[in-house]
Structure 1
């Protein structure tokens, strides 16, 4: 009997520890000329647990309309792994179709996601861009439009996410050369328990019925590989 009580106490302690564990996400995106870089690092327990994803190269395939993505992953138990994948327009459209299917099958999906995003704290946010068209007048007009667009996006983000700092964002015009470079760096933090609760809500408000996914990965999860896009 004592062993059962001890095991239950340990399980409860581990569960509570997991629920209150904070996950910190460091996200960086940079576009310089034609080169794209995405870097995401997730850490917990002051870095004791970590997962890193790097996508150093995103380029167009010369033989098709697909995008070639080269990525690197690094976890605490595995050495760095490199892989290459292609994203075709058909796969992108299948992903959008699957998203619409999920929205249709989950009641109040928007409210559930918005509630979770409201718990996500933004510890740092910086978005800086440099644009130019070689023509002063066109660059000035484009800069003004980009300021308006970026301000609208920032306003939308502050509505959904819990910003703990003031977002920093700039647009620097370049009147002498043509370019469109940008960089985004942010740090997000949330509790594992909040993510678990959101997952439970998604299952609870599932309308029922089987969803016919089109993308390969989701079709395999549901065992309906025949619905994959040709």
Structure 2
């Protein structure tokens, strides 16, 4: 009956991004921490630094690495996603089940913006409020909100700046994830070549060749 707790902080300040995710499960026996303190655009590529750590039974290892995302990387990800959709019966239905069972217990979304012009700043502030309301309306249909979302937009009339930050906490019971996992295995088995497709996506190339 324990929970998988995922705490995340996503912040964008002008051209810099910062992402931090903490996962805890089985009353703290499983812990994972991922932090991306630097993410910058260089031409058509996104370069980011990643720091991760966790318990010995947490996959992913520990350490710091720098990675680059370009259009070729995105195309490979799209191809892998298409393979999973092709070789798994109703994968989108499984994803919806996970979202429906996810409970959001904390949601704080603050934004500070300024265009350098008072009139445009006021108009942009109104559009930001409208966009946030629309996003939360769609989001509340996908997950279970167990808290009142705290949202704020602060206009900065005397400067040109943009900062937005989302702090959230999501919970889902371990038993619910196990049930979803069993259903996922059953739907993978229902399609010929399903396990091979998942092996090619999840395992390193040198291992997936032997599947």
Instruction: Give the structure-1-normalised TM-score.
Output: 0.76
Q: How big is the shift at 1:170?
A: 1.4
Residue 73 of structure 1 pairs with residue 59 of structure 2 = no
Q: How big is the shift at 1:80?
A: 5.3
How many angstroms apart in 1 are the aligned matches of 2:119 and 2:82? 41
Residue 208 of structure 1 pairs with residue 194 of structure 2 = no
| 2:4 equivalent in structure 1 | 23
Residue 47 of structure 1 pairs with residue 22 of structure 2 = no
Q: SS state of the match for residue 28, structure 2?
A: coil
How many angstroms apart in 2 are the aligned matches of 1:195 and 1:216? 21
Specify whether residues 58 and 115 from structure 1 end up closer, same or farther in structure 2 by C-alpha distance, changes over 3 A only. same
| 1:17 equivalent in structure 2 | none
The one-character-per-residue Cα deviations of 1:84-125 (angstroms, maximum 9, x if unpaired) are 111112211332333234334433333322222111111111
Dislocated runs of 4+, deviation >4 Å: 209-213, 215-219
Q: How big is the shift at 1:219?
A: 7.7
Gaps of 5+ in 1: 1-19, 225-230
Q: SS state of the match for residue 151, structure 1?
A: helix
Number of aligned residue pairs: give it. Answer: 202
Please say which of residues 38-47 and 201-210 is displaced more in the overlay.
201-210
Gaps of 5+ in 2: none
Residue 99 of structure 1 pairs with residue 85 of structure 2 = no
| 2:17 equivalent in structure 1 | 36
How many angstroms apart in 1 are the aligned matches of 2:201 and 2:191? 22
Specify whether residues 209 and 216 from structure 1 end up closer, same or farther in structure 2 by C-alpha distance, changes over 3 A only. closer
Specify whether residues 89 and 162 from structure 1 end up closer, same or farther in structure 2 by C-alpha distance, changes over 3 A only. same
How many angstroms apart in 1 are the aligned matches of 2:202 and 2:27? 32
**Does the 8 A contact of 1:28 with 1:184 survive in 2?**
yes
How many angstroms apart in 1 are the aligned matches of 2:208 and 2:135? 35
Bigger share in strand: 2
How many angstroms apart in 2 are the aligned matches of 1:119 and 1:216? 25
How many angstroms apart in 2 are the aligned matches of 1:200 and 1:107? 13
| 1:60 equivalent in structure 2 | 41
**Does the 8 A contact of 1:25 with 1:40 survive in 2?**
yes
The one-character-per-residue Cα deviations of 1:20-79 (angstroms, maximum 9, x if unpaired) are 331111111111232211111111244343111111111123xx5221111111113499
The one-character-per-residue Cα deviations of 1:163-220 (angstroms, maximum 9, x if unpaired) are 111111111121221122100101111122222222332332346244779x986683
| 2:108 equivalent in structure 1 | 126
- Higher gyration radius (CA): 1
